[in-house]
Structure 1
Amino acid sequence: MKAIIMNEYGDSNVLQYVDDFPDPILKDDDVLIEVKASAVNPIDWKLRQGYLKQMIDIPFPFILGLDVSGIVKEVGKEVTMFQPGDEVYARADTSRNGSYAEKVAVNQLFVSKKPSNLNFEEAASVPLAALTAYQALRDFAGLGEGERVFISAGSGGVGSFAIQIAKILGAYVVTTTGPKNIDYVKSLGADEVIDYTKNDSLDTEPVDVVFDLIGGKSQIESFSILKEGGRIGSIAGAPDPKLAKEKRANAKGLWVKSSGADLDELRNYIEAGKIKTEIAARFPLEKVKVAHELSETGHVRGKIVIEVAK
């Protein structure tokens, strides 16, 4: 099959396009998905660069890609939830070959039916980012009606879903973005928008929850607006324990889990028109290298999608 493989850690040049990679080996509880579209997430190039090799041991040659949408081609003998011909989307397994390929094997528990109102490219833009936001705000933060939440980088892949999910949960949303995306994040439901190019500090009333998507200086600054006893979760490095102790905060570094059940719930919101997705750019499979380079700029509104098959 056609695929993008890497044989070593490194820059985008380690990504190689091949047309003779072996098909995935199907386990008893796997579905084999004929990939229509994938997407690029920051974790992809962090894995490629070796930043996460202490956490995730990947075998070379390896195929990256965690977001997938496509059609079920085959099912393992213990699969009861899907059948060939089903249109699906999923967040694949980090430790197995991924979706930068014509086919990918995914455990049935990680898979959900594709939202009926999204095409394959739009569906591929959803799983990782939306699951990250959903699990952070619902499960870790327990975000509730009338609470205030600060979401950094609201126009990015995770941020754009987080704003919409926070509004579904009934929260008041404060976010940061650049001047070009102020209207965009407001259209997603942001109640208060801070232009990071004009403000050196966060000028807002204290918040119950901080969802940090940037880390570093931005994360440290967000403690200044967190209420005492509040919650701060980050996907960009564990929150500073000293600052967390000073605020008596529930603080945690967050890691998304693959979940078909959560994707089922997100599908319901998408089909109801409560969550929409934004595609920043589309690339064919053989141009994944360029897609990675764009993602690494850190200035992408929405998601970068890989068109694998028509």
Structure 2
Amino acid sequence: MKRVQFGRYGGPEEMSFADYTLPPLAPQRVRVRVKAAALNPLDWKVRRGDMKLVSGWKFPQGMGSDFAGVVEQIGAQVSGFQVGDEVFGTTEISRQGAFAEVIDANAKLVVRKPASLSFSEAACLPIPATTAWAAILGIADAGPGSRIFIHGCSGAVGSCAVQLALAHGAQVSGACGAASLAAVKAAGVNPALTYSDKASFAAEGLYDAVFDTLGTLTLDDGLKLLKPKGRFIDINPTPGRVLRGLVSGRYRMTFSTSGYKNLEDIARLSAEGTLHGCIGLEAPFADALSVIKAAEQGHRRLGRIVLLM
């Protein structure tokens, strides 16, 4: 079988296609024939060594986290799945490997794919949707009457956050790039502003929560947008932001792992048409190395990049 892997931490030049053999299936895991896998910045952050305290020093390591496919084998302690089930899910940081023909995944991070979703659509959901869920429904507690500002509302996480907040009755404002302005307005963001419109972010009032999906809104600027009991939600913490934020008392960090338990809810909302990912590009698995390198170097597009196996 083939997968994208790396033999040491480093840049895109460390990636390669390689043959691999999976070990015997562990009792708590399911073996999935991958049909589609979506790129996340996390994927190359792991390869660069940014997460080495978690990903460790055993090589080679596979790349890729979010995937959708068909169950081929079920671990002895796993229930709720059958061979042939169409599923989607994600991997632990310590065991990436979704850019592959077959993957062994933790059964707790896998759910059945709604029949209404394509494999590509399903692969777009796990990390963005779980991250948004943890922020918008976990910390912001979005509901009728709440006002939420999403910085980076057109990205994968931001667009999921918009959908979840609106579905729960919140009023959503946000900022994005100029090229995405029409799309986010159509999605229900009001007012929708560009990043250069910073002076107007709070023109219509302060917010119950500010969700910075990019890590580019300064903490001081974000705190100025909040009501007295509002929360600044960060998914790109740095030591400086954390220290400054803790002093403020209104700073909260969250990660996709906090929303993993809600994968079933995400699948349900997707089946209902309430939540969906946006596909920007579908590329053949054979082009994985060049596609990953281009995305890592900033050649992005509106919507997620999906590898088709």
- Whether TM-score is above 0.5 comes out as yes
User: Please, which runs of 5 or more residues in structure 2 have no aligned partner?
Assistant: none
Q: Which moved more, 1:118-127 or 1:140-149?
A: 140-149
Contact 2:29 2:74 in 1 (8 A): yes
Q: Is the 8 A contact 2:212 2:235 kept in 1?
A: yes
AA at the equivalent of 1:59:
K
Q: Which moved more, 1:133-142 or 1:162-171?
A: 133-142
Aligned to 1:211: 211
**Residues 215-274 of structure 1, C-alpha deviation per residue, up to 9 Å, x if partnerless?**
14544422221222211221111544435534x41x222221276651211121111111
Q: Structure 1's 259 and 85: CA in aligned 2 closer, same or farther, altered over 3 A?
A: farther
Looking at structure 2, the residues matched to 302 and 220 of structure 1 have their Cα atoms a distance apart, in angstroms, of: 29
Letter in 1 for 2:247: K
The Cα of 1:74 is off from its aligned counterpart by 0.4
Mapped to 2, the partners of 1:13 and 1:220 lie a distance apart of 38
Distance 1:135 1:259, change over 3 A: closer
Alpha carbons 1:4, 1:286 under 8 Å: kept: no
Whether the 8 Å contact between 1:35 and 1:102 is mirrored in structure 2 is yes
The offset of 1:129, in angstroms, is 0.7
Equivalent residue number for residue 2 of structure 2 = 2
| Cα deviation code 1:280-310 (max 9, x no counterpart) | 11222232222223333174322111112xx
Match of 1:245 in 2: 247
Displacement after TM superposition at 1:112 (Å): 0.6
Distance 1:233 1:13 in 2: 34
* 1:86 CA displacement: 0.3
TM-score, normalisation: structure 2: 0.91
Q: Is the partner of 2:89 in helix, strand or coil?
A: strand
2:132 and 2:158 in contact (8 A); partners too: yes
Which runs of 5 or more residues in structure 1 are unaligned? none
Name which of structure 1's ranges 136-145 and 285-294 shifts more when overlaid on structure 2. Answer: 285-294
Conservation of the 8 A alpha-carbon contact between 2:3 and 2:20: yes
In percent, how many aligned pairs have the same letter?
31
For the 8 Å contact 2:27–2:76, the answer to whether it is kept is yes
| 2:141 counterpart letter in structure 1 | G
Residue 146 to residue 217, structure 1, CA distance change in 2 (3 Å): closer
- Equivalent-residue separation in structure 1 for 2:95 and 2:127 (angstroms): 15
**1:112 counterpart residue number:** 111
Give the aligned residue type for 1:79: V
Cα distance in 2, alignment partners of residues 144 and 200 from structure 1: 25
Structure with the bigger percentage of helix: 2
Q: How many residues align?
A: 304
1:43-81 Cα deviation digits (max 9, x unpaired): 111111112223442521001111010000000111111
Aligned-pair distance for 1:180? 1.6
Q: Is the contact between residue 151 and residue 217 of structure 2 (CA under 8 Å) also seen in structure 1?
A: no
Within a 5 Å distance, the mapping from 1:1-310 to structure 2 comes to 1-18=1-18, 20-57=19-56, 59-196=58-195, 198-204=196-202, 205-237=205-237, 239-242=241-244, 245-246=247-248, 248-249=249-250, 251-257=251-257, 261-296=261-296, 297=298, 299-308=300-309
Question: What code does the residue aligned with 2:34 have?
Answer: V
Over the aligned positions, Cα root-mean-square deviation in angstroms equals: 2.0
Q: Is the 8 A contact 1:32 1:74 kept in 2?
A: yes
Change (3 A) 1:237 1:261: closer
Q: Compute the TM-score of the two structures, normalised by the length of structure 1.
A: 0.91
- Rate the CA distance shift 1:220–1:304 in 2: closer, same or farther, 3 A: farther
Q: Please, which moves more after superposition, 118-127 or 48-57? A: 48-57
Question: Partner amino acid for 1:203?
Answer: F
Q: Residue 173 of structure 2 aligns to a residue in which SS?
A: strand
* Contact 2:4–2:97 (CA under 8 A) maintained in structure 1: no
